[in-house]
Amino acid sequence: MTVLLAIGTQKGLFLATGDDDRRAWQVGPALFPGTAVYTIGVDSRGPGPQLLAAVDNSHFGPSVAVSDDLGATWHEPESAPIAFPQDAGVAVERVWQIVPGSAAEPGVVYAGTQPSALFRSADGGRSFELVRGLWEHPHRPQWGAGFGGQAIHTILPHPGDPSRLLVAMSTGGVYRSGDGGESWSPANQGIKAYFFPDPWPEFGQCVHRVARDAGDPEQLYAQNHHGVYRSTDGGDSWQSIAGTLPSDFGFPIVTHPHRPGTLWNFPLTADSERHPTELRCRVYRSTDAGEKWEPQHEGLPDGPYYPVVLRDAMCADSLDPAGVYFGTRAGEVFASNDEGETWSTVAAHLPDVLSVRAVAV
Q: What residues have CB less than 8 Å from 73, skipping those under 6 apart?
A: 67
The count of chain residues that interact with other proteins, using the rule CB under 8 A, is 23
> Order of strands, edge to edge, in the sheet holding 220-224?
207-212, 220-224, 228-231, 239-240
Helix ranges, 16-145 (H) = 132-135
Give least dist CB 124 to other proteins, A: 19
Q: What part of residues 128-187 is at the interface with other proteins (CB under 8 A)? A: none
Q: Is 111 near other proteins (CB under 8 A)?
A: no
- 349 forms part of the interface with other proteins (CB under 8 A): no
Q: Is 331 helix (H, G, I), strand (E, B) or coil?
A: coil
CB neighbourhood size of 20 (10 A): 10
CA distance 60 to 326: 29
Nearer to other proteins, 79 or 272 (CB): 79
Is 13 or 228 the residue whose CB approaches other proteins more closely? 13
CB of 88 to other proteins, least distance (A): 9
For other proteins, which is the closer residue by CB, 78 or 198? Answer: 78
- Work out which of 24, 90, 103, 270 binds other proteins, going by CB under 8 A: 90
Of 21, 29, 47, 60, the residue at the interface with other proteins (CB under 8 A) is: 60
Stretch that binds other proteins, among 84-92, 216-224, 304-312, 335-343 (CB under 8 A): 84-92
φ, ψ for residue 278, nearest 5 deg: 55, 20
Using CB under 8 A as the binding rule, whether residue 338 contacts other proteins is answered as: no
User: Which phi and psi angles does 53 have, rounded to 5°?
Assistant: -100, 125
Residue 80 interacts with other proteins (CB under 8 A): yes or no: yes
Determine if 58 is a binding residue for other proteins (CB under 8 A): yes
SS3 163: coil
The nearest distance, CB 200 to other proteins, in angstroms, is 37
Given a contact cutoff of 8 angstroms between Cβ atoms, the answer to whether 219 and 267 are in contact is no
Binding of other proteins at residue 83 (CB under 8 A)?
yes
| Smallest separation, CB 330 to other proteins (Å) | 14
Q: Which of 327, 329, 279, 277 is nearest to 302 (CA)?
A: 279
For the CA atoms of 203, 180, 62, 90, what is the dihedral angle to 10 degrees?
-60
Contacts 24+ apart (CB under 8 A), 14-19: 14/347, 14/350, 15/70, 15/71, 16/333, 16/346, 16/347, 17/361, 18/335, 18/346
Closest to other proteins by CB, 84 or 195: 84
Name the segment binding other proteins (CB under 8 A); options: 87-95, 148-156, 193-201, 295-303: 87-95
Minimum distance, C-beta of residue 63 to other proteins, in the bound complex (Å): 8
126 binds other proteins (CB under 8 A): no
Q: Tell which positions 16-45 bind other proteins, by CB under 8 A.
A: 34-36
Q: Does 55 bind other proteins (CB under 8 A)?
A: no
Q: Does 92 bind other proteins (CB under 8 A)?
A: yes
CA pair distance 236, 63, nearest whole angstrom: 35
| Residues whose CB is less than 8 angstroms from the CB of residue 313 and which lie 6 or more positions away in sequence, other chains included | 251, 252, 326, 327, 328, 353, 354, 355, 356
Interface with other proteins by CB under 8 A: which residues? Answer: 10-11, 34-36, 57-61, 63, 76, 78-80, 83-84, 86, 89-92, 351
